[in-house]
Amino acid sequence: MALLKIFALFVVTALAEIVGCYLPYLWVRQGKSVWLLVPAAASLALFAWLLTLHPQAAGRVYAAYGGVYVTVALAWLWAVDAVRPTTTDWFGVGLCLLGMVVIMGGARTP
């Protein structure tokens, strides 16, 4: 159960980071309103705060979080940008998640 909670926290953290980066992208690349920077800043602040909630050392959390981030980013690509990920994209996601499991599974608390 604890692993599921940590994974869910990783997913929410990734969504906060992606939204915080996607909104400025819309402003810069697609000419949307500059006011998108306000919720973008709030989303990135939420992202930073969410990282503090993880129970492991910060460096290990960042390394393991990367695997979930890649997964959520590809899901975002599909759901928001309407670009279907390729087979190699999904293979890469599997490798990233395997790396996350290795990193977090090998974690030792002092």
What is the model's pLDDT at position 84?
95
Q: How far, in whole angstroms, is CA 20 from its chain's centroid?
A: 11
Q: Who has greater pLDDT, 3 or 102?
A: 102
Q: Residue 18 and residue 43: Cα distance in Å, rounded?
A: 9
- What is the count of structural domains for the chain? 1
- Tell me the average pLDDT across 15-44: 96
Residue 32 has pLDDT above 90, yes or no: yes
Residue 107 has pLDDT above 70, yes or no: no
Residue 89: which residues within 8 A CB-CB, separation 6 or more? 74
The answer to whether residue 110 sits within a structural domain is no
Phi, psi of 33 (to 5 degrees): -60, 140
Indicate the pLDDT class of residue 110, thresholds 50, 70 and 90. low
Range of the domain at 40: 2-105
What is the model's pLDDT at position 62?
78
* Token pair of 54 as six digits: 């993880």
The answer to whether residue 18 sits within a structural domain is yes
The answer to whether residue 78 sits within a structural domain is yes
